[in-house]
Structure 1
């Protein structure tokens, strides 16, 4: 199966734009200064073999007034990607949306679809390479964090399923809108891959339900669940699994650490998702903090290699976030990236152990040969 990606190892730029419940809008592209140094950042990650990147279109900046699009925040990034020869996966909605838009109303779906179509037209005209989009990042996590726990917008409790349905409805509309503009566009649907176990024998059914909930959004998108939303099997294109060290836990209890008898190998989680959907897969986010970075990548690579050896078509691992960033809640420095904060000229310090591990992993296995771009998006001419 030919890979849709230019590189197996990929760079993910944190691009969250949600509002916290205290009203503060976050913009991680700005706070990491990636907006200012996008081309420098793209060239830096490409030098380490990360030629496919996840990045974001900041909807709240593009559409400040309904139906009026200002591309000044996005067009420089789009052109920087082209100049740098990297292949972007553009997140169209990474938790944030324009002020004044009610996420619960039908207009939210209509506005997002129209915005997505406008992005697709711009990308099509600027860059002849077939594009890749992530319509709504982490529908399941957003539904929990924003709908059940009031951690960020829309800051409600006990409305998680309602929000999940609304976000799935919007993602379905986005896929159709994008493909109406550019039928060759590929779609990544990224959501956390989790494992939940019971604390006691009496909790087994509840734990199983919590575990199975990770599939609800993908089931909606593919039409398996609530087909009245408009989902279709072809809408579930590339399955993006986001996986971190805290993605396994005891129901209403602590995280299950690696080495614990209840810890499930990541290869098994990948295999279960593939058995359910039969779609090409991407580890769309993974990473760790501080000194754990290189060791965590080593673990993930070993598990992905085992899954590939068992016939699971995993086409990439995205290091996320590839830049250190300020924490959502308190602005603390989160040392998660391959690169740290920039100096005045955009140069960022390198995490040497992580860079060495990327190089080692690239050398010890043939992950995939990459793929030759069919239409060329590295400054090689306009759209035919």
Structure 2
């Protein structure tokens, strides 16, 4: 049997922040606009290509492209697609990046058919603009979005957990999660009916949860909370509630997101300090191996990055783990995406910028400037880690 080929244009990729939900303050977000990315597409794409990042994650923005009532305008998507082609870049498209049209709610099944319809229109637009198989993430981070919509102060009504207790990781959001999985499955079917070449990158956070040192009695509960990270993929694969329509064929590529905040302690919600070598911290390679053993599908590190002075150090650790995953564990790791490529403002405090990009952004002028040690670390790892893992 011939080995499966990666649909990604390059191993090293970069992503542009595209969250478009309405935050709990009522601010309607458009991070592509707020970061200056839409106005500086050619600049941003030229820099990405010069840095050897020929696959880029871009968000389509359901809320931004479909008005209440169902009128769809994909002109901004077409502009992004043409800009990427000019610079020889392959977009990895996220269709739904948290926001949805104002006449729909995360708590109502009505979103499922509307989203499938929207996804089909996206596929019709992008089919002739895609030289190879287009790669879609139907719903970005089903698990995170379901959790966020179950919390009191992350999203605006009606897409929040009205009356919920204080923010906590001990909420699965399963009812919303299964609705989002149904929407993703409907979108896959709709897209494949338009373009049979399409591939699907299902992106979820990869996490680790531990009990507090003085509460060994909570170890079982911590394991249960940790296990919730598999629910979205299990639903898509038909391992959980197969009557919803999931199947192994739907679970195409596994996109994993991992940050310094992705490992925490139950109850206190304290993050495990990777930079202080917390002994409870699990290496990324071990988490990737766990996902591979569970699903047997190719892996892409779809988002990873850090803030401030720690950016280069974080890349060094994550890239070393990626190299170990491929060379020692033999995992089919097909991509590594730095996220975000250009800095972005905070979702809830727009005046605060994260200082997380490969290129820093001046909040006043939105001009970009490179982060030298981060770029240098990328160049060094590109020489050691690239191409097809089977080579």
TM normalised by structure 2 equals 0.91
Q: Which consecutive aligned stretches of 4+ in structure 1 deviate over 6 angstroms post-superposition?
A: 342-346
- The correspondence for 1:230, drawn from 245, 257, 268, is 245
- The correspondence for 2:99, drawn from 87, 96, 100, is 96
Higher RCO, 1 vs 2 (CA within 8 Å, ≥6 residues apart) = 1
- Aligned residue for 1:376? none
The 3 A distance-change label for structure 1 pair 23 and 346 is: closer
- Aligned residue for 1:244? 259
The 3 A distance-change label for structure 1 pair 181 and 122 is: same
How far apart in 2 are the matches of 1:318 and 1:33? 20
Give the number of aligned pairs.
370
Structure 1 window deviating more from structure 2 (64-73 vs 336-345): it is: 336-345
Q: Contact (CA 8 Å) 1:5, 1:370: kept in 2 or not?
A: no
- The correspondence for 2:205, drawn from 164, 167, 192, is 192
SS in 1 for 2:92: strand
Q: Contact (CA 8 Å) 1:63, 1:69: kept in 2 or not?
A: yes
1:104: Cα distance to partner?
2.4
- Aligned residue for 1:257? 273
- The correspondence for 1:127, drawn from 130, 141, 145, is 130
Q: Contact (CA 8 Å) 2:18, 2:59: kept in 1 or not?
A: yes
1:78: Cα distance to partner?
1.1
- Aligned residue for 1:14? 17
Q: Contact (CA 8 Å) 1:31, 1:326: kept in 2 or not?
A: yes
Q: Contact (CA 8 Å) 2:334, 2:388: kept in 1 or not?
A: no
- Aligned residue for 2:219? 204
SS in 2 for 1:232: coil
1:148: Cα distance to partner?
3.3
Alignment of 1:280-299 (within 5 A): 280-299=298-317
Alignment of 1:152-231 (within 5 A): 152-153=155-156, 154-156=159-161, 157=164, 160-199=173-212, 200-231=215-246
- Aligned residue for 1:382? none
- Aligned residue for 1:367? 386
RMSD over aligned CA atoms reads 1.9
Alignment of 1:107-122 (within 5 A): 107-122=110-125
Deviations 1:101-127 (A, max 9, x none): 123223200011000000001001233
- Aligned residue for 2:338? 319
Q: Contact (CA 8 Å) 2:332, 2:389: kept in 1 or not?
A: no
**Does 2:278 align with 1:273?**
no
The 3 A distance-change label for structure 1 pair 51 and 203 is: same
Unpaired stretches in structure 1, ≥5 consecutive residues: 372-384
How far apart in 1 are the matches of 2:96 and 2:68? 17
1:25: Cα distance to partner?
0.7
Q: Contact (CA 8 Å) 2:172, 2:228: kept in 1 or not?
A: no
How far apart in 2 are the matches of 1:343 and 1:129? 37
How far apart in 2 are the matches of 1:367 and 1:342? 32
Unpaired stretches in structure 2, ≥5 consecutive residues: 165-170
Structure 1 window deviating more from structure 2 (69-78 vs 228-237): it is: 69-78
- The correspondence for 2:370, drawn from 350, 356, 373, is 350
TM normalised by structure 1 equals 0.92
How far apart in 2 are the matches of 1:5 and 1:129? 9
